[in-house]
Amino acid sequence: MATSDFDYLIPDQIRAWIPGDHAVLGADGFGFSDSRAAARRFFHIDGPSTAAKVLERLELAGEVPTGSLAEAIERYRLHDVRAGTSGSTGGDA
């Protein structure tokens, strides 16, 4: 799993050299919101969104029960940008 606050193309370029499953999340090189937490939630690159992507891959591989992804999406309100908290404190957030 590779996640970037920036364009996802750089981590995606190493796909050919990564054995097994390789998923990439990124912000397409731009933001849209007034807060880093909202931008990370919108682009699905915050912590809960990354965990959901891993669950998606595990579901496809049959490693976790079907419905695990849907449960995570609902529990962590992944479709609500206002629910994001990653990057909301400290530094340049």
Per DSSP, the residues of 41-90 read HHTT-SHHHHHHHHHHHHHHTTSS-TTHHHHHHHHTTTT-GGG--TT-SS
- Of all residues in the chain, what percent carry a pLDDT higher than 70? 85
Of the options 2.30.110.10, 3.40.50.920, 3.40.50.261, 3.40.605.10, the CATH number for the domain spanning 2-83: 3.40.50.920
Interatomic CA distance for residues 34 and 41, integer angstroms? 12
Q: How far is the C-alpha of 32 from the C-alpha of 65, rounded, in Å? A: 35
Residue 33 is predicted with a pLDDT of 56
pLDDT digits (tens, 9 = 90+) for 24-41: 887 765 555 567 788 788
CA 85 – CA 38 distance, rounded (Å) = 8
Mean predicted confidence (pLDDT) in 42-49: 86
Over range 54-80, report the average pLDDT: 94
- Is the pLDDT assigned to residue 61 strictly greater than 90? yes
